[in-house]
Amino acid sequence: MRGWWQDLTDLVLPAECGGCGRPRTVLCPECRAVLSGVAARRVRPVPEPPGLPVVHAAARYADEVRATLLAHKERGALALAGPLGVALAGAVRAGLQRAWDGSWAGAEGAWSRDVGAPVLLVPVPSGRRAVRARGHDPARRIALAAAGELRRSGVPARVLGVLRQVRAVADQSGLNSRQRLDNLAGALAVVPGGARLLSGGPVVLVDDLMTTGASLAEAARAVRTGPVSNAAGAVAVYGGETWESREEQNVGTTRERTGRRPGRQGNTGAGGAGGVVDVVCAAVVAAAPDSFEINRN
Reported as a single tens digit per residue, the pLDDT across 78-129 is: 999 999 999 999 999 999 999 887 644 443 333 445 457 899 999 999 877 7
DSSP labels, 134-162 = HSS-HHHHHHHHHHHHHHHTT--EEEEE-
CA distances for 241 relative to 12, 168, 259, angstroms: 24, 34, 13
Q: Band of the pLDDT at 277, cuts 50, 70, 90?
A: confident
Residue 191: pLDDT over 60: yes
pTM: 0.80
Give 46 or 12, the one with higher predicted confidence.
46
pLDDT of residue 118: 94
Of 215, 196, 218, nearest to 207 by C-alpha is 215
What is the structure's pLDDT at 130?
78
Say if residue 47 is preceded by a cis peptide, omega within 30 of 0: yes
The band of 204, judged by pLDDT with boundaries at 50, 70 and 90, is very high
